[in-house]
A and B are shown apart, each in its own frame.
Chain A
Amino acid sequence: MTSSMLLGITTIAYLVASGLYIALLVFRVKKLGTLATGLTAVTFLVQTAAIILRWMESYRMGYGHPPLSNMYESLVFFSWATVIFYFGLELKFKNRILGAFAIPFAFVSMALASMFHPDAIQPLVPALQSNWLFAHVMTCFVGYAAFAVASGLGVMYLVKLKFQGKEGLLASLPELRVIDDIIHKTIVFGFLWLSAGIITGAIWANSAWGTYWSWDPKETWSLITWFVYAAALHARFTRGWGGKRIAWLAIIGFVAVVFTYYGVNFLLSGLHSYGSG
């Protein structure tokens, strides 16, 4: 069993789990929810095993580094972090329907990883041989995972709002007030991690190149993302923004995240182009 095979299984299993959560949303059969959560939990364990295995494989190949060094590995980690974050929410709010708006992110990022990025374990160029790099990637991606879920919840909010009053399908969604609260808490959580991610990145850059900030496009985009969420937070706690506007900001913020993480590598050039591998 190699890590690649396990990750292949993971991708398919998250697709099925996404389907089950969406079916739960549509048909509201309790059993589907149990099944979806069960499958996601098992898949998560398989994925965890795959990540550990990949780490061990890199040692066997003589490279020896945590599996967080390129686009493929970071997409896998993003998917993993999204699921663990989602489980936290499911436990806290005792609501499985949230899964329909979160687990698809885990699937999509696994699918992107396996379709568009080579899964070979690569040696690290010297600049990447730093513990700060791994702290940086980890903190960023925990934040990104939270923002992904927040945007999913933002969509959930807008959908529910649109069909408000009509019984049926969407009656099983949590109340608007509750969704709004979860979105806010999720953004707050993500913001703390994104801040930590930007900071660890700056420390790493300073230890490798002697500049903690050089306005390279990826750095700049992470700052733009940070500003968007800072604006969302301030609008909420000082001007009382909530509901629709925060839902939209959660979505816009995540678009900025996707661009920072994915778009910048393909559309702009800079220090971080390592990620394009």
Chain B
Amino acid sequence: MATSAVEIRGLTRRFGKLFTLGPIDLTVPAGTIYGFVGPNGAGKTTTLDLIFGLGGKDGGSIEVMGLDHIRDDVAMKRAAGYVSPDLNYQAWTRVDKAIRFVSGFYPTWDDEYCQTLLKAFHLNWRDQIGALSFGAKTKLSLLLAMSWQPKVLVLDEPTIGLDAISKQQVFAELLGMVRDGERSVLISSHNLSDIERITDHVGMIKSGQMIFEGATTDVVERFRMIDIDATHAAALADQAGITVQETEGLRGRVLVDQRQVTIDHLRARGVTVLSDCPVTLEELFVALGRA
């Protein structure tokens, strides 16, 4: 059995001279929820689309449950479901018709689970799809993808337009999905506090490059935000593991990646640490994303 749900190695995709994605390495261990984060335009959707063969890659490999995403295309799509904001089920006019249509494709469709999700997401069998709110349409897409019990569920921004209650229901269902330790979720989202709370692994992409990946708790604990003398901050600007955030008068604020340089090491080099604070995933995202 594959130990990774998704394994991306050296993935590249060039868009003329304007933008190059990659090379990207990304691993979703089986049985986990992986949060894929990054600023707008960093390449998240492009990467997720490439997994499902939407657009051609220029290099690298992608495997889902040990299946090559192009060579084993059919088997791969029986194992993995994709929910993207572009999905539109309006053509099936009513919820029940959309369900009947989609369920026909999947031998693994679970009617009972579908009913549970309908209730959890407050959707009704006879609802007109055109009359559904944006959030309810998103929930319908999720329901259609989750009900056939894919081994791997890939979600691109699934919580846009969802209120806090609906968002929590979705995350609760995702945690329920990985309960058996066999299913996995790869989710891109800007809800960083939720991502920090529910994901086991997290990876951040910026300008087409992965800038960190690892167990969510490890990644967040690895970084500290410290205040030091402005002169020291200026001197450290080019040091690996240091990202200068701002300098104001005599004080400078820097983000420290403790895997590359420890705060004790900085102290030993004569840097006076005026304050030292842990960061949340959201703070980390802002600190690394804008630099």
A interacts with B: no
